[in-house]
C-alpha cells in the first residue's frame, strides 16, 4: 500500500494543524450540545450554556488533538529516517509510542495501557485500509474482462490492397466465370474492392 503525504518536516505541522481543526470543530459541536442540555430550562439559557461550554472545553480538546498528532508525526518521521521505508508497520509502532509517551506522567502501568490501546487502534485502521484497497483492486480486475468483451471486435476481413497475396487467390475463380471473362478479358489483376463493385454492377 502506497502513501502519498508531505515530506517529514512539513508533515508534523500539517498533521498538527489538521488535528487541531478537527478537534475544534468536533469539540465545539459536542460541547455546545452538552452545555445546551445541562443548562436550565429556556432557549436563551440553553444557548448561553452551550456557548460557555464551548469556550471552556473546546480549546483543551483541540490542543489534545494537536499534541497527539504532532507526537505521532514526530515518531513517524523518526522511524522513516531510520528504516528508510514507509509502510503500515510505521503507523502501528507510532500509535503505540504515541499512546505511551502521552501517558508517561501517569506511571508505567498507564503508559503500557496507552501504548497497547494506540497499537490496537492503529492496527485496526491499517487493517481496514488494506482490506478496502484489496476489495477495490479485486472489483477493478473483475470489471476489466467484461469491458474487454463488451468492446466491438474488429472484422476478420478487411478491404485488401492492390497486388496483395489474397487478391491473387480470387483471380483463378473469377477466370472460370464466362461473364467475367467476356466483360473483362485482357485486363490486369483486380482487387477485392473492384470485384465487389463489378458484382454490384452485374
Cβ–Cβ under 8 Å, residues 63 and 93 = no
CA dist., res. 186 & res. 173, Å (int): 16
Segment 34-66, tens digit of pLDDT: 888 888 888 888 888 888 888 888 999 999 999
Separation between Cα atoms, residue 160 and residue 165, nearest integer Å? 9
Least confident segment among 156-165, 170-179, 182-191: 156-165
CB count within 10 Å of CB 13 equals 13
Are 49 and 35 in contact, with CB atoms under 8 Å apart? Answer: yes
Contact between 121 and 96 (Cβ < 8 Å): no
What are 161's three cell numbers? 490492397
Mean pLDDT (the chain, rounded) = 75
DSSP state, residue 202? -
Q: Is 137 exposed, middle or buried (0-12, 13-18, 19+ CB in 10 A)?
A: exposed
> Model confidence at 156, in pLDDT bands (50, 70, 90)?
very low
What is the residue extent of each domain of the chain? Answer: 8-150, 165-201
HEC string of 79-129 equals HHHHHCCCCHHHHHHHHHHHHHHHCHHHCHHHHHHHHHHHHHHHHHHHHHH
At 202 the pLDDT is 45
* Mean pLDDT score, 97-105: 88
The three grid cell numbers given for residue 127, joined into one nine-digit string: 487493517
Residue 171 has pLDDT above 50, yes or no: yes
Calculate mean pLDDT across residues 139-157: 56
The residue behind cell 448561553 is 48
Q: What is the pLDDT of residue 160?
A: 43
Euclidean distance between the first and the last CA atom of the chain, given in angstroms as a whole number: 68
Amino acid at each position: 500500500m502506497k502513501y502519498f503525504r508531505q515530506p517529514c518536516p512539513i508533515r508534523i505541522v500539517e498533521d498538527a494543524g489538521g488535528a487541531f481543526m478537527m478537534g475544534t470543530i468536533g469539540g465545539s459541536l459536542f460541547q455546545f450540545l452538552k452545555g445546551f442540555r445541562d443548562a436550565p430550562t429556556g432557549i436563551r439559557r440553553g444557548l448561553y450554556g452551550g456557548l460557555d461550554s464551548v469556550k471552556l472545553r473546546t480549546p483543551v480538546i483541540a490542543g489534545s488533538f494537536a499534541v497527539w498528532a504532532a507526537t505521532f508525526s514526530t515518531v513517524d518521521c523518526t522511524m522513516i529516517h531510520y528504516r528508510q521505508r514507509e509502510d503500515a508497520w510505521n503507523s502501528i509502532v507510532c500509535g503505540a509510542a504515541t499512546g505511551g509517551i502521552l501517558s508517561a506522567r501517569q506511571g508505567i502501568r498507564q503508559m503500557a495501557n496507552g501504548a497497547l490501546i494506540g497499537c490496537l487502534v492503529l492496527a485496526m485502521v491499517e487493517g481496514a485500509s488494506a482490506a478496502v484497497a484489496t476489495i477495490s483492486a479485486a472489483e477493478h480486475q473483475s470489471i476489466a474482462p467484461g469491458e474487454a468483451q463488451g468492446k466491438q471486435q474488429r472484422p476478420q476481413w478487411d478491404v485488401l490492397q492492390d497486388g496483395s497475396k489474397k487478391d491473387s487467390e480470387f483471380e483463378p475463380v473469377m477466370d472460370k466465370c464466362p461473364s467475367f471473362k467476356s466483360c473483362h478479358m485482357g485486363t490486369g489483376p483486380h482487387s477485392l474492392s473492384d470485384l465487389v463493385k463489378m458484382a454490384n454492377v452485374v
